[in-house]
Structure 1
Amino acid sequence: MMEQDEFERYLIENQAAFAAWGTFVSSKINEKITQKLGKDEACMFLKIPAIHRVKTVSSALGKVSRKGYEDPVSQMTDLVGVRFVVLLSSHIEVISSMVESSVEWKASLSKDYLSEIDKNPKLFDYQSKHYEIRPIKDFIYNDVNINKNICCEVQIRTLLQHAYAELVHDSVYKPVGEVPKAAERQIARSMALMETTDELFCNTMVMLTNVNKFRNDFLSDLAVLFKEKIGSHYLNCDLKINYLLLDEFRDCYDGESINKISILVNNKKYIIIKIKQRSEARHIFSQPCILFLYWLSMTISTDAIKSRWPLPGSFDDLDIILSDTGNSTAH
């Protein structure tokens, strides 16, 4: 059994390594989320910033005293950890797949609330998905040596699960006094209610996704076309602006529109030049929908566009677009 003073020395000597490994893991997963969802959606996807935390020496020593670990170096998997909090249970799997598919570490699932529920359907208890993540091999990160045996615990949970844990974890799972049976019953009831709420939220999101699928696919196609014709570094997608415009003019595009827009941009090379010139100074010119707006200005009347324009703070941008296409009129 490792002596306390030996474990304490290990903790002190490896504080920098714990912090470096936690930084590496959290930054890589955050990067993967941004790559998959885009900058805007990634910011909305995580409900709390995912920042690593290193367990203090005193906290680690206290846990050893409570748990009686024989080999705390290998048994304590949460000396450094990072928590990812998302809105819905369906979002948990998005991050789980990133954790499990990474070639930069070995990940083992240490706690899965869904498996626990399968084993005990009557269970209404503390929920979270936990992974133990260790490097494939020793390496150096930010000038710090990281041993392949160092573990970072990654927790993935929903906002409802997080609220539950924050409220009851210290008082029920780590009691500082007597916990009445009535209190345990209240906690079980709250978890049952949260599971129902999460299910309703997930069903609602499926409905919203289905009804907006065509619009969202069209925006994705516009973004691909923008990157191809204008360049990725000119793109700064603002989902709210794009959705407002595409929702307002929903009756003006169909399954053939993206091909027509592509042909327009190929034939009217000045559009590419104008967008590049203005993308930094004028926000709307860095949006995927700018390609749609140029095409729209040549498809429906100027009066129709202006009467339906959903961005009152961007009438000047609209006039610029209309002027480029020879359709400008005073508003």
Structure 2
Amino acid sequence: MMEQDEFERYLIENQAAFAAWGTFISSKINEKISQKLGKDEALMFLKVLATPRVKTVSSALGKVSRKGYEDPVNQMTDLVGVRFVVLLSSHIEDVSSMIESSLEWKASISKDYLSEIDKNPKLFDYQSKHYEVRPISDLIYDEIKINKNICCEVQIRTLLQHAYAELVHDSVYKPVGEVPKAAERQIARSMALMETTDELFCNTMEILTNVNKLRNDFLADLQGLFKEKIGNHYLNCDLKINYLLLDEFRDYYDEGSINKILTLINKKKYIITKVKQRSETRHIFSQPCILFLYWLSTTINTDTIKSRWPLPGSFDDLEIILSDTGNSTAH
């Protein structure tokens, strides 16, 4: 059995390594989220900043005393932890797949609330998905050596689950004292309500996703075309602006529109030059939808575009687009 003073020395010597390993994991997963969703959506995806937390020496020693670990170096898997808080339970699996698919660490599930529900469907209690994440081999990160045996506990939970955990575990179960059965009943009822709420939210988002599939797919195609023809460094996607424009002119595009836009760009190569020149000074010219707007200005009546234009603060940008395509007057 490891002596307390020996474990204390281990903790003190490895504080920097714990922090570095937590930061490494957090940064890598955040990168994956940004790559998958894009910068704007990634900022909205996580509801709480995923900041690594290193357990203090006194807290770790206290836990050893309570739990009676004989080999705390290997048995304590939460000396550093990172928590990812998402909006819906369906998002938990998105983060899980990023953790499990990484080749930069070994990850094993230590707690899976879905498996626990399958085993005991009548139980309504704390829900979260936990991973034990260790390096594949010793590594250097930010000039700090991280031993391959160092473990980071990664938790993934929804915002509702997070609120439940904050209340129940910090205010009810952690303090020393009796917890009346009436209080436990209230807690169980609240978790049942949270499960129902999450299910309703997930169903709602699925309905919205299906309704907006054409728009979202079209925007993704426009982003890809912008990166290919204009350049990724000119792109500064503002989802609100793109959604406003694509929703307003929804009846003018379909699955084949992206090919028509590509044909226009290849034919009128000045469009690429104009977009590049204005992208830094005029916000709308750094948006994927700018390519759609150029095509739209050559397709429908100018008065129709002006009367339905949803961005009053960018009306002069519309005039510039119409002028570029020779449609600045009604026809």
Question: Which of the five TM-score ranges fits, normalised by the shorter chain?
Answer: over 0.9
Q: Superposed, which structure 2 residues align to 1:258-273 within 5 Å?
A: 258-273=258-273
- 1:228 alignment partner in structure 2: 228
In the TM superposition, structure 1's runs of 4+ consecutive aligned residues that sit over 6 Å from their partners are none
Amino acid aligned to 1:153: E
Compute the displacement of 1:281 (Å): 1.1
Q: In the alignment, does 2:16 pair up with 1:44?
A: no
Q: Superposed, which structure 2 residues align to 1:274-289 within 5 Å?
A: 274-289=274-289
Residue aligned with 2:201, SS: helix
Amino acid aligned to 1:53: R
- 1:75 alignment partner in structure 2: 75
Compute the displacement of 1:305 (Å): 0.6
Q: Superposed, which structure 2 residues align to 1:144-163 within 5 Å?
A: 144-163=144-163
Distance 1:312 1:180 in 2: 59
- 1:18 alignment partner in structure 2: 18
**1:17-71 C-alpha deviation (Å, 9 max, x unpaired):** 0011011000000000000111111111111111111111111111111111111
Q: In the alignment, does 2:195 pair up with 1:195?
A: yes
Distance 2:17 2:218 in 1: 46
Residue aligned with 1:295, SS: helix
Residue aligned with 2:196, SS: helix
Number of residue pairs matched? 330
Q: Which consecutive residues of structure 1, in runs of 5 or more, have no partner in the other structure? A: none
Aligned alpha-carbon RMSD (Å): 1.0
Distance 2:170 2:61 in 1: 18
Q: In the alignment, does 2:224 pair up with 1:219?
A: no
TM-score, with structure 1 as normaliser: 0.98
- 2:237 alignment partner in structure 1: 237
CA contact (8 A) 2:137 2:148 kept: yes
Which stretch shifts more, 84-93 or 51-60? 51-60
Amino acid aligned to 2:253: Y
Amino acid aligned to 2:47: K
Distance 1:177 1:74 in 2: 31
CA contact (8 A) 1:236 1:286 kept: yes
Q: In the alignment, does 2:27 pair up with 1:27?
A: yes
Distance 1:120 1:253 in 2: 49
- 2:87 alignment partner in structure 1: 87
CA contact (8 A) 2:128 2:156 kept: yes
Compute the displacement of 1:186 (Å): 0.2
- 1:134 alignment partner in structure 2: 134
Percent of residue pairs identical: 88
Residue aligned with 1:122, SS: coil
Distance 2:89 2:254 in 1: 33
Compute the displacement of 1:323 (Å): 1.1
TM-score, with structure 2 as normaliser: 0.98
Distance 2:102 2:275 in 1: 37
Compute the displacement of 1:329 (Å): 4.4
Distance 2:329 2:318 in 1: 10
Distance 2:219 2:134 in 1: 39
Distance 2:191 2:10 in 1: 39
**1:163-198 C-alpha deviation (Å, 9 max, x unpaired):** 000011123332321111000000000000000000
- 1:106 alignment partner in structure 2: 106
Residue aligned with 2:6, SS: helix
- 1:115 alignment partner in structure 2: 115
CA contact (8 A) 1:319 1:329 kept: no
Distance 2:60 2:41 in 1: 36
